[in-house]
Amino acid sequence: MSCIGAPSDMRVALFTDSFLPFICGATFAALNQVNALANSGHEVRIYCPGSKGSDAKSAELHDSITLRKVPLSLPWGGQPDLNVVFPALWPTMKDLRAFKPDVVHVHTEWGTGWAGVYAAWRLKIPVVGTFHTFWDDPRYVHHFPWPNWKIIQRAMGNYSAFFYRRCTATIAPSTSVQRHLSQRNLDAVVVSNGMPTPTLASADEIRQLRAEFGVKDGPTFLYLGRVSFEKSLPICFEAFKIVLADHPDAQFVMIGDGPEMTAIKETVRSLEIESSVIFTGAVPHEELIRRNLPRLGDVFVTASETENQPVSILEGMSFGLPAIGPRSRGIPELIEPEQNGLLFAPGYVTELVAHMKRVASDEALRETLVRGAFETSAFHSIEHTGKRLLQLYQNCISHPADPTANLDNPNRDAA
């Protein structure tokens, strides 16, 4: 069988139902990756839903990247800036034929994702899919307008597997996701979501930043991300209330917004900890990175049990924030106990409290964990992810029957 060589300068068509201005991990994984590809000289075109106020191209996108809004999209209730798409294939195919992509990359398995799969089939080119979300988890089924029954959860998992079997290759951002997919008889290759290396502000600038937001000198915990049901945020605040008894100068900073914000603020009020909690609200991502807003905190805290490879933790670590998180899904692959953070049993508030108290009082431990956080971030650099993506794209073009052949080992020891 003859092989078709992949071009050195590739044209990549990316299809996703989640993109700016909608804020979630899948959005920023796709954003970071397309920018890495464009920085390497490859041509990228993004196909995503339109939404109110989203006509302008984001300043965070590389200048060379083109953006196309797929038609027939409607707002999804309760999710700001998120639209559901009913694939209208004719205008998309017309544009794609003019663009002449070498490969299609889909980041979601809904309307826009199906448009990408169909387009690749019509154009007879490979399609690569990245698995981002455990839709069979009951905390995600919670978002849909149907019963949260076991049979529905299984159906959601089977649906995702059915979608990704239509792809030439499937990407798992972590080995836990890879194992999850293998249980559904779906082979996947591990490629980290990747994280750009930010420019760090000076110590004086950070002191001024903290003063601006009212962050004092005591130990400060931080959550960065969407405020939604599956993130289990009440657990973080229950633990924080107990920590305050020993560390009354401690604070908790929450950066982000989402459908559960009203409920979370009510939780904070009911726990009577309002004076120690700072809500920044939603912050434009470009401002978040440029101003080093994650450095409002000293330690990242999450209780979410649904993450495959949380971009928010990687983002925090890129600014030197150690992380405390549950021993669940893909989180233990990022958090190495005593190296860059601490792990607790999912939902076990007492263990979370012990970890928060420990990092609040042990300065030597915090310094060790900060160094480890920077090292972890460097390992998951977007440059490494971009190279691995290109290698996979090229394999899909040259060896579609075995696209993962000869891929570099993604493990830390081999990097």
Average pLDDT value over all residues in the chain: 90
Q: Among 126, 84, 88, 91, which residue's Cα sits nearest to residue 109? A: 84
Structure-block tokens of residue 319:
């600014």
Going from the C-alpha of 319 to that of each of 61, 290, 326, 377, 378, the distances in angstroms are 21, 11, 21, 9, 11
Q: How far apart are CA 360 and CA 66, in angstroms?
A: 46
Instruction: Determine contact, residues 304/256, Cβ cutoff 8 Å.
Output: no
CB atoms within 10 A of CB 92: 21
Give me the CATH number covering residue 54.
3.40.50.2000
Interval 6-23: pLDDT, tens: 456 899 999 998 888 877
Asked if the model's pLDDT at residue 162 lies above 70, the reply is yes
On whether both 186 and 311 belong to a single domain, the answer is no
Does 166 fall in a domain? yes
On whether both 230 and 356 belong to a single domain, the answer is yes
On whether both 169 and 278 belong to a single domain, the answer is no
Residue partners of 73: CB distance under 8 A and separation at least 6: 49, 50, 51, 83, 84, 85, 86, 111
Instruction: Determine contact, residues 385/189, Cβ cutoff 8 Å.
Output: no
Does 299 fall in a domain? yes
On whether both 156 and 234 belong to a single domain, the answer is no
On whether both 104 and 144 belong to a single domain, the answer is yes
Best-predicted range by mean pLDDT (137-146, 152-161, 263-272): 263-272
Does 6 fall in a domain? no
Does 298 fall in a domain? yes
Does 350 fall in a domain? yes
* pLDDT reported for residue 88: 65
Does 3 fall in a domain? no
Does 415 fall in a domain? no
Q: How far apart are CA 158 and CA 75, in angstroms?
A: 25
180, with CB counted inside 10 A (0-12, 13-18, 19+), is: buried
Does 97 fall in a domain? yes
Range of the domain at 356: 203-379
Helix/strand/coil for 402: coil
Determine what percent of the chain is predicted with pLDDT higher than 70.
89
159, with CB counted inside 10 A (0-12, 13-18, 19+), is: middle
Phi, psi angles (nearest 5°) of residue 111: -60, -50
* pLDDT reported for residue 263: 97
Residue partners of 86: CB distance under 8 A and separation at least 6: 72, 73, 74, 111
Asked if the model's pLDDT at residue 4 lies above 70, the reply is no
* pLDDT reported for residue 24: 82
On whether both 22 and 117 belong to a single domain, the answer is yes
The DSSP code sequence of 5-73 is PPPSS-EEEEE-S--TTS-SHHHHHHHHHHHHHHHTT-EEEEEEE--TT--SPPTTS-TT-EEEEESSE
On whether both 385 and 362 belong to a single domain, the answer is no
Mean pLDDT of all residues in 194-204: 96
Residue 414: which pLDDT band, with cuts at 50, 70 and 90? very low
Question: What's the half-sphere exposure (Cβ side, CA atoms, 13 Å) at 1?
Answer: 8
On whether both 49 and 126 belong to a single domain, the answer is yes
Asked if the model's pLDDT at residue 2 lies above 50, the reply is no
Asked if the model's pLDDT at residue 51 lies above 70, the reply is no
* Stated length of the chain: 415
The structural domain count of the chain equals 2
On whether both 373 and 393 belong to a single domain, the answer is no
Mean pLDDT of all residues in 150-170: 93
Q: What is the DSSP letter of 381?
A: B
Interval 360-387: pLDDT, tens: 999 999 999 999 999 999 999 999 999 9
**In this structure, which amino acid lies at residue 407?**
L
On whether both 117 and 88 belong to a single domain, the answer is yes
Mean pLDDT of all residues in 145-162: 86
291, with CB counted inside 10 A (0-12, 13-18, 19+), is: middle
On whether both 58 and 172 belong to a single domain, the answer is yes
* pLDDT reported for residue 74: 62
* pLDDT reported for residue 386: 95
Q: Among 6, 13, 69, which residue's Cα sits nearest to residue 43? A: 13
Residue carrying the six token digits 């560390």: 247
On whether both 323 and 387 belong to a single domain, the answer is no
